[in-house]
Amino acid sequence: MPEIAPGAFHYSGFLDAGAQARLARDIAEVIAQAPLFVSRMPKSGLPMSVRMTNCGPLGWMSDRDGGYRYEPAHPETGAPWPPMPRMLLDIWAELTGYPKPPEACLINVYSDEAKMGLHQDRDEADFNAPILSLSLGADCRFRLGGPKRADRTIAFTLSGGDALVLSGPARRSFHGVDRILPSILTPLPAPLMGVGARVNVTMRRVT
């Protein structure tokens, strides 16, 4: 088992080149239906450095007035989020073994200068369910801590095709992306070429 910390499992190279291309096609179709947008930090209203969209029954977003939350529709088009691709549901079942399917799939698109500060995923009602993320494109330096912001952290590389599961004690761990690694800018698969440097897909239970 590729357990790097209690409850945290890093599956290096889980998706081969063909699987990455298939996932990229699915994500490109989602983006075509639910265009990328920029969420804003609560209170300050400052824009996040990543662009995002969602698929599945619920989608994560944030703005100055409403804060972090899940919504059933795109904040700009007002349309429901596209269905979650079958491939993602199959991967969830394979890697998590959780008896219920994910309800939200957040798609984050990183430029080569984007990052994600340390944070907890705590906007969900179900903390027993794991979090599953998949990476495409450029490598990034990922940081994983504990349930308190001041806890010791570890840093490791997430590459295109990698999967990461946060479960059990790692479910509430602080985590983030320090930076995209510019020396290892692996291009995104062709269906997503030009969208950004790295795409991260994160699936969660919400209710």
Contact of 72 with 58, CB cutoff 8 Å: yes
pTM exceeds cut of 0.85: yes
What is the chain's pLDDT, residue by residue, as a tens digit (207 residues)?
A: 599 999 999 999 999 999 999 999 999 999 999 999 999 998 888 999 999 999 999 999 999 989 999 999 999 999 999 999 999 999 999 999 999 999 999 999 999 999 998 999 888 987 889 999 999 999 999 999 999 999 999 999 999 999 999 999 999 999 999 999 976 678 899 999 999 999 999 999 999
DSSP the chain: --EEETTEEEETT-S-HHHHHHHHHHHHHHHHHS--B--B-TTT-PBPSSEEEEESSBEEEEETTTEEEEESB-TTT-PBPPPPPHHHHHHHHHHH--SS--SEEEEEEE-TT--EEEE---S-S--SS-EEEEEEES-EEEEE--SSTTS--EEEEE-TT-EEEE-GGGTT--EEEEEE-GGG-PPPPGGGTTT-SEEEEEEE---
Query: What is the bridge-based pairing of β-strands 3-5 and 8-11?
Result: antiparallel
- What are the structural domains, with CATH classification, of the chain? 3-204 (2.60.120.590)
